[in-house]
Structure 1
Amino acid sequence: MAEPARADEPLLKTPLHAEHVALGARMVPFAGYDMPVQYPTGILTEHNWTREHAGLFDVSHMGQAALAGPDHETTARALEALVPADILNLKPGQQRYSQLLSEEGGILDDLMVTRPAGEEEKGYLYLVVNASMKEADYAHMSARLPQGVSLVRGDDRALLALQGPSAEGVLQRLGSAAASLSFMMSGWFDVAGLRCHVSRSGYTGEDGFEISVKAEDAAALWRRLLADPEVKPIGLGARDSLRLEAGLCLYGHDIDATTSPVEAGLLWSIQKRRREEGGFPGAARIQREIRDGAARVRVGLKPEGRTPAREGTLITTPDGREVGIVTSGGFGPTVNGPVAMGYVSRDVSAVGTDLHLMVRGKPVPAKVAAMPFAPHRYKR
């Protein structure tokens, strides 16, 4: 999970940095930030705690921003010129996953888009983008927005993710009405006496919430949430194993500017109107791949035995033909075995297909597997 920091750039710190250090977290460079990879109990314990109770993640390194325009239609159409999702028909309070696309149909970043519910927020769209891409994303969007629509950075806000089957109960015990949200809906709520923007979403496959709060209030909220015995802090290591078991893409690994949403298995995130009308970057390629199929596709992989296949592992057929590469892989604690995902030629992408993963020069038998590896437990 760790990414090398550039030697000439000091690492940034989230508003919760001192909290992580005080809890004994092992800190590593990630996307230009000094982030907790694990706490003293370790990644396996943190992973299992999130699946069974509630894990609290600091995701304040992510980019929070808003598009501001005169009305919803104007702002939605401005964003639809950059992403393939149907933004126009978002209901107030509804959130949607999408991708910023290049003119060639490659994924420049993936993001969450929310139409806020408040009357005073008409014409606004809230965005959450990846930490490693936020400066590039902001520049890309700002350069392409029409007159009257502007990008407003949310650098003064922190973001916490409360994930797991106990998350709803934790918010109920704090008396927060956010506990009543349904999946991919959002709004402004009181959480522990603090005004927060909360969405019922996350990156673990579990039910949970993402809570945006003023940076100056982040530590107070963090401590209040951790005061509940069902909640423990979780680092980047378990965040990665949880999202891998959930079959969720990590930008820069499973998706990047060379992959299209169709190749990546993200066609579900492009609604019918947009598939038919186009009008987004790379639409011709994506419509062609929808019609004819992509040459390669992202698949789940289950290696035999206990040896994990890491990112970069070559995928071959049993007779040695190279057909793809692993983009994410590791041990799945919930699955109790190794899991991976990667891209393979379409002709070997069917679930159950026998393949080999070349781990340290030796072929490890594997099968194409359905994703997610651990069932999603969203509250719909």
Structure 2
Amino acid sequence: MVWFGATGFRFGFRLSTSYWRGLKDSGTGRSLTYGCEGKKFSSHSGREAQKRTPLYEFHQSLGGKMVTFAGWSMPVQYKEGHIESHLHTRTHCSLFDVSHMLQTKVLGRDRVKFLESLVVGDIAELKENQGTLTLFTNEKGGIIDDLIVTNTSQGHLYVVSNAGCAEKDSALMQDKLKKFKASGHDVDLEVMDHSLLALQGPSMAQVLQAGVSDDLKKLTFMMSAVMTVFGVPDCRVTRCGYTGEDGVEILVPTEYAVQLSEILLQSPEVKVAGLAARDSLRLEAGLCLYGNDIDESTTPVEGNLVWTLGKRRRAAMDFPGASIIIPQVKEKIGRKRVGLVSSGPPVRQHTPILNPEGSVIGEVTSGCPSPCLKKNIAMGYVKAEYSKTGTPVLVEVRKKTLEAVISKMPFVPTHYYTGK
């Protein structure tokens, strides 16, 4: 059992299901496997060829514990540890390297029509430099990936999607591109090689405002602007993030990524944070992790993501899987994504959820001890009749049943900046 201190609160993690440690021998030496909300990270064994972001040496110089995630070598935590990074993000400001995300430009006169043939959102209604979270869906209504699309004032759509889905997302877009071009449409794709930094936390605006001439009070949630940031030109700053806090993602020319990171860290408000903190922060904020909480076997309605369906798109039913997804909006569905709060040992991915009589009614998809709430939180899917907030349920942890309750999400209030 490994213990981490967090303002007097202690977390216990068993080695086989922990955030961090699960040692196993490999043929060429030892490799270290990390599980975070059910997501597995592996340390490097020497033979593995890992992709590296431009900040790889920078992370190492700061004591980053590098692990494998989606084929990339990424920091899972730093010297101060995961809990400290998590709490610092909630109270001050943290810097995350998210350069592993797939970034794509969609260009051409028919770029909106092209993207709307793949996603559920109303891209045509986006204002200049406004973004939205949307979903790639398949013909069965399943979620291929979640992504953010920004309608830039530079004549292209800027798309950011998950690193773990990069290969299939690229294949999906390239296949559709061939069909569009063959039918005479004007559209092109360009994979970007810029770096992407996320600056997240309540003091973000204070830190960033010192290095930009633009008034950040005018940059509201999901809006972006191209600006010079601490002397680095041509950065796209988007007010968004994956922590539930006020924050930005900064698209920065790769040659300036380390320079800008070093400048940001000069502020006493800013510390670096890794994958583990990013994951526990997003769970407290009730945000989905693709591959855990949503995938091709879940529809937007089951995943409580109906709000991603554009009003015009619902009426037109012109996106992949619409014939399955739209009827679910008004009809009763078999299962629904919910939040859970429990006591005792923390619940993890694949933990069975039971009704009070002991029958299985669902399964946990993500779970961890909440550093802020000092109680166990999770999300998962249950039969729809058990999805009402306040419903008592049971969870089965190590063959023992523990009391839990269906909870509203987010578990911790979000602080997105809307200008109000």
Using the size of structure 2 for normalisation, the TM-score is 0.86
The 2-side partners of 1:252 and 1:371 are apart by 19
Superposed CA offset, 1:175-234 (max 9, x none): 342623111001211101112011000000000000011111100011011111110000
**Match of residue 172 from structure 1:** 209
Indicate whether 1:135 and 2:167 are aligned. Answer: yes
Match of 2:339 among 286, 300, 311: 300
**Match of residue 204 from structure 1:** 243
Indicate whether 1:271 and 2:313 are aligned. Answer: no
Look up the SS of the partner of 1:143 in the other structure: helix
Whether contact under 8 Å (2:147, 2:161) holds in the other structure is yes
Indicate whether 1:54 and 2:132 are aligned. Answer: no
Aligned ranges for residues 71-150 of structure 1 at < 5 Å?
Answer: 74-117=110-153, 121-122=154-155, 124-145=156-177, 146-147=180-181, 148-150=186-188
**Match of residue 329 from structure 1:** 367
**Match of residue 345 from structure 1:** 383
Residue identity opposite 1:138 in structure 2: S
Residue identity opposite 2:118 in structure 1: L
Match of 1:230 among 252, 269, 274: 269
Whether contact under 8 Å (1:164, 1:207) holds in the other structure is yes
Task: Number of aligned residue pairs: give it.
Answer: 371
Task: Calculate percent identity across the aligned residue pairs.
Answer: 46
RMSD of aligned Cα (Å): 1.4
Look up the SS of the partner of 1:196 in the other structure: strand
**Match of residue 285 from structure 1:** 324
| Offset, 1:272 | 1.3
The 2-side partners of 1:133 and 1:127 are apart by 13
The 2-side partners of 1:5 and 1:80 are apart by 39
Indicate whether 1:186 and 2:235 are aligned. Answer: no
Evaluate the alpha carbon distance shift between residue 5 and residue 273 of structure 1 in structure 2; reply closer, same or farther with a 3 A threshold: farther
Look up the SS of the partner of 2:395 in the other structure: strand
Whether contact under 8 Å (2:364, 2:380) holds in the other structure is yes
**Match of residue 364 from structure 1:** 402
Evaluate the alpha carbon distance shift between residue 176 and residue 253 of structure 1 in structure 2; reply closer, same or farther with a 3 A threshold: farther
The 1-side partners of 2:55 and 2:43 are apart by 20
**Match of residue 162 from structure 1:** 199
| Offset, 1:6 | 11
Superposed CA offset, 1:43-66 (max 9, x none): 111011000011100000101111
After TM superposition, where is structure 1 displaced by more than 4 Å over at least 4 residues in a row?
4-9
Look up the SS of the partner of 1:263 in the other structure: coil
Look up the SS of the partner of 1:347 in the other structure: helix
Residue identity opposite 1:207 in structure 2: D
Residue identity opposite 1:79 in structure 2: L
| Offset, 1:265 | 0.6
Whether contact under 8 Å (2:43, 2:67) holds in the other structure is no
Superposed CA offset, 1:266-293 (max 9, x none): 1111121112211000001111110203
Gaps of 5+ in 1: none
Look up the SS of the partner of 2:237 in the other structure: strand
Residue identity opposite 1:99 in structure 2: L
**Match of residue 348 from structure 2:** 310
The 2-side partners of 1:257 and 1:25 are apart by 33
The 1-side partners of 2:397 and 2:336 are apart by 21
Evaluate the alpha carbon distance shift between residue 323 and residue 54 of structure 1 in structure 2; reply closer, same or farther with a 3 A threshold: same
Whether contact under 8 Å (1:176, 1:192) holds in the other structure is no
